[in-house]
Amino acid sequence: MLEVSGLTRRFGDKVAVDDVSFPVPSGGLTGFVGGNGAGKTTTMRMIMGVLAAHAGKVSWEGHAVTREDRRRFGYMPEERGLYPKQPILDQLVYLARLRGMSAADARRDITSLLERFGLGERAKDPLEKLSLGNQQRVQIIAALVPAPVALILDEPFSGLDPEAIEAMADLLREHARDGVPVVFSSHQLDLVDRLCDRLVVMARGRVVTQGTGDELRAEAALRYRVVLDGDAGWVRDLPGLHVRDVSGPEAEIEVVSTGAEQKLLAEATSRGSVLDFHRVVPRLSEIYREVTA
């Protein structure tokens, strides 16, 4: 398990990351979301040791993370690129060797990954001869060799075509299944929603909320949707409710004081028939919007 505790970083007077703590459990995908300037990239750079932390620590398997540990972490920086003029196989082997792999092992693993991404034939081509989508694929491979013990990926899906997004998602799931802690940041909330077991939400340098999907949903206010046979405007007058939306016979409400939804239901049945009444489970993206609002 990878764990971040109390990480803090200032740039001049500005606190970019303020006392950030969260775990990245093994065998799960942790989504890292937040607007631009929320401090995600700075946090990930500190995890990788590219940027020094002013306070706090990063631990790996219970001890303070070392350079040797980090050497086995797969990392995809937000601002990324490779050597434009060097053949892709050569530069991937070089990067793998920098991370402690033997040339023969690196060559074997990379060749099989290139084939998996449909780039087997392009191994000797310089990077700049590849399409942007394929360059992104090469970048993904760069983060995956040698077989990483943890994956720290900053916006890994940005710039990918739909096909590559699926391939990337599969890869992340596979690594998680193999017991690798995976944390990735993304602006694509639907993707995060679909993939992640845990969510860490940052805003203005702080973690505003975090937890598994269920935990976050449980924390969120109870929501109900009701459909009547007449106009639903009267629900606004009921106490203990927050009305999120009313349109014609439909209304969506949030429970402020416990039991208010039962009073609503009783009132509705006394006024006419109730066509539908059900609990609304918010999507992670909705929760995200609320906590960062």
Which residue is associated with the tokens 């490779």? 82
Segment contacting other proteins by CB under 8 A, of 17-25, 62-70, 156-164, 280-288: 62-70
DSSP string covering 78-111, please? Answer: SS----SSSBHHHHHHHHHHHTT--HHHHHHHHH
Tell me the site size for other proteins, rule CB under 8 A: 51
CB of 188 to other proteins, least distance (A): 21
User: Which segment (99-107, 117-125, 199-207, 251-259) binds other proteins by CB under 8 A?
Assistant: 99-107
Please identify which residue in 71, 187, 217, 244 interacts with other proteins, judged by CB under 8 A. 71
How far apart CA 136 and CA 142 sit, in angstroms, is 10
User: What does the angle CA 29 – CA 33 – CA 36 come to, to the nearest 5 degrees?
Assistant: 145
CA–CA dist 173, 195 (Å, integer): 8
Q: Any contact of residue 234 with other proteins (CB under 8 A)?
A: no
d(CA 115, CA 117): 5
Q: How far is the CB of 180 from other proteins (least distance, A)?
A: 7
Give min distance, CB of 191 to other proteins, in A: 19
Among 57, 83, 240, 263, binds other proteins (CB under 8 A): 83
When asked if residue 144 is in the footprint of other proteins (CB under 8 A), the reply is yes
Neighbouring C-beta atoms of residue 290, cutoff 10 Å? 14
Which residue type is seen at 150?
A
Distances (CA, A) of 72 to 78, 133, 208: 19, 26, 30
Distance CA 110, CA 184 (A): 22
By the rule CB under 8 A, 107 interacts with other proteins: no
Of the pair 165, 222, the CB lying nearest other proteins is at 165
Cα separation of 254 and 59, whole Å? Answer: 40
Residues 38 to 57 in contact with other proteins, rule: CB under 8 A: 45, 48-52
Name the 3-class secondary structure at 16. strand
Give, as ranges, the residues between 158 and 197 that touch other proteins (CB under 8 A): 171, 174-175, 178-180
Minimum CB–partner distance for residue 32 and other proteins (Å): 17
Where along the sequence are the contacts to other proteins (CB under 8 A)?
A: 45, 48-52, 67-73, 75, 77, 79-84, 86, 90, 94-95, 97-103, 105, 108-109, 112-113, 142-149, 171, 174-175, 178-180
